[in-house]
Amino acid sequence: MIKIRDYKPYSPEWVIAKFFDCWKRRAWVQLLDYVQLSWLNQYDEPNRILRLSLQTLDNAEFVQVNANTGAVAVIIVDIYLKLKTGIDKSRHSVRLVYENGRWGVDPRSII
């Protein structure tokens, strides 16, 4: 699992580590603190959307930081999901956006 303490607080890597930690613990309300603000504002119940969209997380590992412009960061992550048939591994380019003074994960890059 991605270790939160390995990254500078509030950096894109730290935010994504916190996001995956909350997802693994199924802490849906806390997870919202690490989601892109403009995505959150589109929904009346964003925690419900995430809860229904995100499957059970087993593990997540950084592969590499692909880009960071200061406004958008893209981080390649291997995501391991628990399925009835076993563990499914997939690679995602997780997008983070810097809005209103904070980084937030764009859930569309994972769902």
The DSSP call for residue 14 is H
Task: Scan for tokens 């769902």, then name that residue.
Answer: 111
Q: Residue 111 has what pLDDT? A: 87
Q: Residue 71 has what pLDDT? A: 97
Q: pLDDT per residue over 10-69, tens digit each?
A: 999 999 999 999 999 999 999 999 999 999 999 999 999 999 999 999 999 999 999 999
How many whole angstroms from its chain centre is CA 49? 14
Number of domains in the chain: 1
- Domain containing residue 21: CATH number: 3.10.450.100
The boundaries of the domain holding residue 56 are 4-109
Mean pLDDT to the nearest integer, 95-103: 97
